[in-house]
Structure 1
């Protein structure tokens, strides 16, 4: 098999994580193959914070909307509007956004191919062989010194090569992309704002996560998530559209996929494979945010592979997870606790939205979201929030 075409790196998966990894390695002069399936669009609210726009040079033309506030809706329909101070959250359409990222990687030297990953083996000298099927059904193979698995939450590469990947837990997400309501419809009573994201905490719409209405300029993402098997997410979205006046809007497409909610304990096989993005489980608990973390994960995976190529030391692959968790592990831990507790019952969801009225909570939450860092400069605000949380937890806070 030594006559099979060889790359320094094969990146399996062309979403934000894989495209970012391929771009970084191509920029450094590596011979990179970016392998991606045809026709894949991930269901996603499409929000990207300022840090992602800044760190990864996302051009303005990809932002289909700029969000200036978030509305948190309780089971009782009471809501809290939270302004985004001194900035905005950008919204992208994943079909256009992901393709632009792939094209950028290609422009810097990565080779693109369309195909579905099937398996990985090794030839006689121990080099990895990636086997994939072309859209016409042809089975092809390439060799690679290193492989990055960015092929989603149900990554076949991860399950074949990384111990423990088969135990990943998911929230399942489903959304419908619809035409945005016309100005006349909004004027006639539809409560829709093209600069506001609505997050709905209601057990009938999601027993363990949340539902959403996210503007995308000319379109809107209306969706929900749940880990409960048998829960009808399509029925949930239909109910949400009916209750918000969006039922009559044209449906453009429907999409669903599993979303991981906890990073895997291991991201590499100790030899030549490292995971990134959903394949590594880097979607934030509670919020479900994934684009920034996917791009960062792809970036860190590329750095780890670069170190492997330079030194030959396979332990370099562990750097991707070590660096990611060192920067964001605490945030993921806190958000995981938040989701498990506050999303558990209608009473707790009601209390959670009530907490969101507090300006200390709002300020620290958006500081952390926009810049991806826990705010350390205001210790008294953290103390106040701690005692307010306790008051809500024990039912001492006013409703």
Structure 2
């Protein structure tokens, strides 16, 4: 079976696709925004890159940064059309299946082309805010409703998104709930796990912007200063906005606070192995990969619950704590205080997660389940 993947350059996508290695399938990746970068992690995949620009003229990236209007004008003549090139690749490859990752990036834009090839099975993977947030945008919702009826199969990282897809016109087969990047390799993750009694880090996801709401958590942290002096507070993945917030608040005087920007995955896993409590807060998401990583690493999780996605894996006060309102500072501070003071709750939650959730996230087991889904698709190709 030939599978043509449509996706942006993204670690989630690479981790997912790696599951198809040695599957016997002929796999192609069309890099829809064309990073023009070959990815060794999926070296078994035929990678369609370097397609977007006719001429890679000198100083193109500098011009894009400093003169976007001029770059836009040049691209009228220099940039190849995505749909035309996708059609060309389909005619060349003759795939049995096309798999689109993220609706508004590689689903809706591919629809006019897919209509020309109705015999090709179309698979869709929903990630994060793909359905939940973008259904609120009229233009995206219109595109979603036009596209979903043409899709034959769907993977999602939460049940919520399948329910939303059905409400917006999806009539195909649901292949199940799977982490967006596949499962986790226990051999790699377990080597970084420290004993609970030696952990004292409160780890905070630093994303801030359209969906990430780290600053609400930092406001809650400020309220609890006297309770947090014996802990190390570490923020990771912080953008400039978070750094600036810390520098202009009393947080700048917290000697036990460290803020990092983007860090390597291995560094994050090392931090998780030393962390006691994890906090993730957002206004829109699916089931966050970092939440799953925190569970695998034996951390007590506190997580927001947009659209009910988190509640699919966390039961409040059983195996973690759920933030019901991402912008309610008092709620977040009360939850963090409860996590700090209630050692019994933490221990029971972590034990429950390690026994009941972690085994379901093992990479090899999930990989086998994913491959069975692709086998099912293969069996239905006429």
TM-score w.r.t. length of structure 2: 0.36
User: Which one has the bigger helix percentage?
Assistant: 2
Instruction: Considering Cα pairs closer than 8 Å and 6+ residues apart, tell me whether 1 or 2 has the greater RCO.
Output: 1
TM-score w.r.t. length of structure 1: 0.35
